[in-house]
Chains A and B, each alone.
Chain A
Amino acid sequence: MGWQFNMIVIMALVFGGTGWCVYRTMKAEEKK
């Protein structure tokens, strides 16, 4: 497992986590 793969996994966790939170917030606001 090279550092590039590692980079992709970490980026997916950090950016994906933030993106998921933003998406959930947008969906929640749409409902209101």
Chain B
Amino acid sequence: MAEMKKADQWATRWGLVLSCIGMAVGTGNIWRFPRVAASQGGGAFVIALLIGLFLWGIPLLMAEAVWGKVSRMGVIGSFKEMVGRKWTWMGTTVAVISLGIAFYYSVVVGWCIRYFLYAITGVIKPGLDTEALWAAFSTTPGAMVPWHILTMVAATLILFKGVSQGLEKINKVLIPTLFVMLVVLAIRANMLPGSTEGLRFFFEPKWADLLKGRVWLEAFTQVAWSTGAGWGLMLTYFVYTKKREDIALNATTVCFADTMAGFLAGLAVIPTIFALSPDPMAAVASGNTGLAFIHLTSLFTVMPGGVIFASIFFLALIFAGFSSLLSMVELGLRLLMDAGWTRKKAAVAAGIGILVLGLPSAWSISFLDNQDWVWGVGLLLSGLIFSIAAMKIGVNKIWDEYIAPDSDLNAPWMWKLIYLFPVWFVIIFWWWIAQAASWYPDTYMKWLPISEYTFSVGTMVYQWAIVVVLALVTNNWLADKSTVKFEATE
């Protein structure tokens, strides 16, 4: 019999919804969505992505919300409660994959803080060699460490204050401000001479692209990485909901708001590139960090009012990234609280733990790239775990007993699409594995040294295998440790 413990919960539904949007909207919305959308058929990509929300994002977020709200425990304990004690390892696997991302995500937020400071202190000015600036920052061992530490200290202090006084209050400021900043950036970008070419490129009807498999694969991948579906983060936030909190409408709202954030970023980034860049396609093809820290930063130096534009752009990245990071640290913190730790002790321990385990990524960008690859693709596995667990419990049962009674959106079909999830998983997962294999034709199963086999198949398979074996070995121990439930008061 689990021991019951009382703690603070979301004070308002909007506080919960904004925090969940903050969880979903991350740096990827700003530097990945515009890049991928522009290179994958623009409008056709957005249509594929909207379909992906229904087939991938919304059902998984609903599953997560059910897990958190019904079990009132973090990722590990919730699998024990929902699926059964011997399936606790499933929760451990999901938790480790998400924490694997948390370890380096703080470093990524730290980059954005550094570049925001570059912007407001006048470093980003005409004549700046942005490639050299990024190379010096990202390849100098230790240069990223102070910003990683600063980010984790800030996150720990906020989570120290709890759900309603910490998470809810900060997200009620960060998320509306983030959307206002994205709107301002989009308006300013579209006032630049030549920006219409960017809009034309973004929205040129290329409906034939909907027949291309690549567009769908990229759209579904974007949904998986951007909405946070299957990461266990929405689950963690739903531990603290009111007893009769809605699931279906909230999950749908989070998915659409997440897409809107990416779309607004696209309206800001693509027209800017086309208005100012001598080679827009090179910028689009330059990868996430290349786009933000080299190409766009370079454009800010020649743009009228570029300092203000750059400051707002990097501040938006900080807000998007930091609000996501908070949910990742809270995921770890909740696991400790499930084991009986007080919030304050758990916040300090989770903060220090993520800070220390993030140091290798802060030290070496090739290690960070490797972790991004391994756990980024690993998230697809997390989604599969949720879908299989939902089918084991009973998809109809979950709708009838846990979702429908408090739902403000009576659409069971949206939930039942989770039946199809394994199909999408196999296609998307196989595509990524095949791509990775093609990058290392004869050595795709090698993984050491990491700096040489950063994106190999082997580096993923071996690191996932270590996690699953550890999760299986610790199954009973973690099941015994996870006993303290959150008690909702209203």
A–B complex contacts, Cβ < 8 Å, 17 sampled: A5-B205, A6-B203, A7-B43, A7-B199, A7-B202, A10-B263, A13-B47, A14-B256, A17-B50, A18-B260, A21-B249, A21-B252, A25-B13, A25-B14, A25-B253, A28-B246, A28-B249
Per-residue contact bits, chain A 1-32, to B (CB 8 Å; 1 contact, 0 not) = 11111110111011101100110110011000
Question: For A1, what are the chain B residues with a Cβ–Cβ distance below 8 Å?
Answer: 205
CB distance from B195 to the nearest CB of A (A): 13
Q: Mark A residues whose CB is within 8 Å of B.
A: 1-7, 9-11, 13-15, 17-18, 21-22, 24-25, 28-29
* B17, CB-defined interface residue at 8 Å: yes
B257 within 8 A of A: yes
Question: Which of A7, A11, A29 lies at the interface centre, i.e. has the most chain B CB atoms within 10 A of its CB?
Answer: A7
Contact with A along B14-57 (1 / 0, CB 8 A): 10010000000000000000000000001100110010000000
Within the complex, which residue of B43, B47, B408 is in contact with A25, where a contact is CB–CB below 8 Å? B408
Q: State the CA gap A18–B254 with chains docked (Å).
A: 9
The chain A residue sitting closest to B201, CB to CB, is: A3
Which chain A residues lie closer than 8 Å to B260 at the CB level? 14-15, 17-18
Instruction: Fill in one digit per residue for B368-380: 1 if any A CB lies within 8 Å of its CB, else 0.
Output: 0000000000000
Q: Which of B58-75 contact A (CB under 8 A)?
A: none
Contact A13 B408 (CB under 8 A): no
Is A10 touching B43 in the complex (CB atoms < 8 A)?
A: yes
Q: By the criterion CB–CB under 8 Å, are A25 and B17 in contact?
A: yes
* Choice from A2, A5, A6, A22 contacting B253 with Cβ under 8 Å: A22
Do the beta carbons of A9 and B43 come within 8 Å of each other? yes
Contacts of B409 in A (CB 8 A): 24
A29 to chain B, nearest CB (A): 6
Among B43, B204, B246, B249, max chain A CB count under 10 A is at B43
